[in-house]
Structure formats: structure tokens, C-alpha cells
Amino acid sequence: MPDSSASLSPWIPAEASAFIERHAARYDGMDLATLDAEAHRLIAAHEQLVDHDCINLYAGTNMPNPRGSALLGSTIGSRPNLGHPGAKYNKGMQHAEQLEVMLTTLLKRLFNARFAEHRVGSGSLANLYAYMATCRPGDAIMAFSDAAAGHPTHHAIGAAGLYGLKVHDVPFDTARMDVDADALRDAAKRIRPKLIIVAGSMCLFPYNLAAVRSVADEVGAYVLYDAAHMGGLIAGGCFQQPLAEGADLMTGSTYKSFGGPPSGMILTNSAELAERLDRIAFPGLTANFDLGRTAAMIIAVMDLLEFGPAYARTCIANAQALAVALDAAGVAVFRPTGRDQFTMSQHVALNAIPYGGGNAASARIEPANILFTSIGLPLPEVTDDANGIRIGTQEITRWGFAAMDMDEIAGLIARVLVKNEAPQNVKGDVIALRRLFQKLHYIREA
Ligand SMILES: *Cc1c(COP(=O)(O)O)cnc(C)c1O
């Protein structure tokens, strides 16, 4: 038998290698009945921890509507379905293929867009589709840098680089956490990008898309708005509206603020781009795709059509209240020098320097059942760690937390980060608070 241990994978971090080696050895020795029981036990334990016992402030997650999740288990997802609805190669699809039309129709309604592409496995793949629709390998593009929370898929290590694009930074005004429009104009005239990408993995404030559009027009570039994080708030009408403000394409993940199953989406008003995306989706990069996810997406879009505005408003109100409460509790909340607010979105950023770095702080608070992660901020660097912490309120909003509850959450965070209480001592109070919020809000019931 091949050795499944990590010694075969020297490129993996040592910590991960040790973990994989230890568990691979256990599973190698287990009989099938034990493995079966163990797989189910792990899922149940995970759901209890993350869905019920944690205050999950991770910026890129959410709790989907269980009625949508149930549809993910339908056999419809295992059935091949090649080609356009109404002209399928596979037979017996006359019911299933209508779901594709339903989702496309609802997505267009939700985002007020002329075209929607849903046959995209993830937000990352949505970005690859967008690159393929607008650029050729070797072309230059411009994207947010790491310090502006640009995403790996925008960069050399991700889809952009793998597709052969040359990536340049979008100049960023860190005082306002927005695009530096004048510097962008100068740089774009020099670089002649085919595509300018706006937004990344933390969006505290809306971006000056009108300025980006006008620069793009001057140099003949397309504009892509990456709404991976902002999809739910854009749908709720409480954040900027990328297509109306000049983006040619809007890509998105569907499991972050959007609150749906893990998938991807692309919206555009351009028939030319829609045609290219259609061919990229099929026969380009998908043959069959998971219609169970299509069905789960329909549920998620209907949730947003009915509750999107109230949900999005509450996400933002909670983030603003949490930022103020954290600040009052002595936590180092990040506020750009050119703004009089901490945030206008569901995101809150913390300066992680007083806490030894964002990864260190996230690891320190995890045993208290409070979940968040690091991010790069325009602050001095921390050796071997990120200088920021990123928080999102979309999941706690779905669990019914309101602005008046943010003092309590801030107090629990401060006990670990500021007062240096042992996280294990805080965990009981976190679970007790979390237990009061076990019903999902802003979702349609049967
Ligand atoms: C999360 C994220 C993605 C990737 O989305 P997946 O659906 O996880 O592949 C792309 N862009 C940005 C800005 C993101 O934050």
C-alpha cells in the first residue's frame, strides 16, 4: 500500500503534516463500520460546536437556510445534465431543467441584472470565468493588494496568475480605505490593464466605482467587482450597487453574506460578456454540475428577496454597534484616519498589534468558542503574523443577535484580548449567551 503519510508531501507545513500523519494512521487501521460511524460523529460534533456553541464572527461564513441545505441532498444533484435548459442532451430532465431557469430569473431580479451565470462552482472559479471572458494570458490587470484585502484569486498565486495574467496593484488610499482615483488614472495609463478588479476580502466602506469606471473607459479596461463578501448586502440594497455604478461584471461567493450553499455566481448587463460566460460555463469548464446546489440557491435567493433589506440593515447596525462596544471595552478597533466611522458594512477590523498578531489572537480566543481570523491592515507589520483581525456580523445576525447584544459580545472578547483571562474560563459564558440564539432569522419557513 502507498504510504499516505505527509513525508510524501514535503511542501505541506510541518504542523499540517503531523496532523495528517497521525489521523491517516488511525484511519488506515479502522474497519469500515468504524469509519462510517466516525464520519457521522465528526459531522455531528462539528455542527454542535460551530452551529450552536460558538459565537462565529468569521467574516466569510454564514448559516444557510436548512430548507436549502436539505435540497443539497436530493438525487437531482447526482444526475448529469448537459446543455442549456430546454435543450438538454440528457433525457428525463424536463422537471429538473426548469430549476435552472428559475434560479437565473431570480438572480437577475435580486441584483437587477440582465444576465446571471450560476454554473460556477465557487467565487474563485467565478473570478477565473471573469478573467477568461475579459483577458488573454499575458494581459495586464489591476487588483487590490494584500494590504487592501485583495484576494489570492486576484493575484499571481491564484486564478489570475494561473491563467497567465500580469497583476499590478490598484493604488489604495489607506486613510479612506478606498481606491486612490488619481493614482489609479496615472498607473492605468502606464500599465494599460485589460481588467480592473475592485473589492477584496474585507470591505469596510463602499468603493469609488464611478472613478474606476471613468479610468477604465480612458484605458479600455473592463471593471470587475468581486462581491464574494458583499453579495448579501448588495442584494439587500444596503451597500453599493456595482452594476449600476459601472462594473461590467460582478462575481460572488454564495455562502458568505449571501447566506446560501457553497457556490459561485456572475452577474452582468453586457450581452457580449454573458455570451462568453455561457460558453466558458458550457462546454468550457463544466460538463455536469450540481442541480441540488441550484435548488439550494433558489431558496437562498428567495430569502434575500423577502428579507434582504432587513437582514442587510441589521448586519451593518450590528457591526457598527459591535465596533463601538469593542472600542469602549478597550479593544483596539481599526478606524481609518480619514473616516469618522469604523465601518459601513458587516465587517469590523481590529488592530492586532497589541495582541501579538491576528493569527496569534485568533488562536488565543478560539478555546473561548469565539471564532474570527486575521487580515492584513495598513498598519505597521508584525513579525511572522498578520497585523489585523477581521470580524463579520452576518452569521450572528442570522441567529437573531441585535445591536443591543453587541456590548455582551464585546465584553467576552475583551476578557480574552484585553484582560488576558484564560479563554477556557470565558467559554462557559460564551456558550450560555449563544444558547439564547438558536433560531434562524431572515429565512423563509416552509
Ligand atoms: C472568499 C473570496 C473569494 C473566493 O470565494 P470561494 O467561493 O471561497 O471560492 C473570492 N474573492 C474574494 C474577495 C473572497 O473574499
CA 373 – ligand 1 centroid, Å: 15
Q: What is the pLDDT of residues 137-152, one digit of tens each?
A: 999 999 999 989 999 9
Pick the atom of ligand 1 nearest to 262's CA. Answer: 7
What distance in Å separates the CA atoms of residue 96 and residue 85, rounded to the nearest whole number?
9
- Lookup result for grid cell 455582551: 408
What distance in Å separates the CA atoms of residue 278 and residue 133, rounded to the nearest whole number?
10
Q: What is the pLDDT of residues 80-122, one digit of tens each?
A: 999 999 999 999 999 999 999 999 999 999 999 999 999 999 9
- Confidence tier at 446 by pLDDT (50, 70, 90): confident
Q: What is the mean pLDDT of residues 177-183?
A: 98
Q: What is the mean pLDDT of residues 325-348?
A: 98
What distance in Å separates the CA atoms of residue 101 and residue 136, rounded to the nearest whole number?
30
pLDDT of residue 341: 97
Q: What is the mean pLDDT of residues 275-301?
A: 96
| Residue closest by Cα to atom 2 of ligand 1 | 228
Q: Is the pLDDT of residue 5 over 50?
A: no
Strands 370-371 and 55-56, by their bridges, are parallel
Instruction: Give the residue from 74, 110, 70, 67 showing the smallest Cα distance to 440.
Output: 67
- Confidence tier at 8 by pLDDT (50, 70, 90): confident
Mean pLDDT of the chain: 96
Pocket test for ligand 1, best of 151, 251, 258 (most atoms within 8 A of CB): 151
CA 178 – ligand 1 centroid, Å: 19
Q: What is the mean pLDDT of residues 305-324?
A: 98
Q: Is the pLDDT of residue 204 over 50?
A: yes
* Percentage of the residues of the chain whose pLDDT score is greater than 90: 97
pLDDT of residue 2: 52
Q: Which residues line ligand 1 (CB under 6 A)?
A: 60, 122-124, 127, 151, 153, 200-201, 226, 228-229, 253, 264
Q: What is the pLDDT of residues 380-398, one digit of tens each?
A: 999 999 999 999 999 999 9
* 442 phi, psi to nearest 5 deg: 60, 25
CA 254 – ligand 1 centroid, Å: 9
pLDDT of residue 9: 83
Q: Is the pLDDT of residue 4 over 60?
A: no
- Confidence tier at 50 by pLDDT (50, 70, 90): very high
The verdict on pTM exceeding 0.95 is: yes
Q: How far is CA 331 from CA 310, 324, 365, 413, in A?
A: 28, 10, 13, 8
- Confidence tier at 7 by pLDDT (50, 70, 90): low
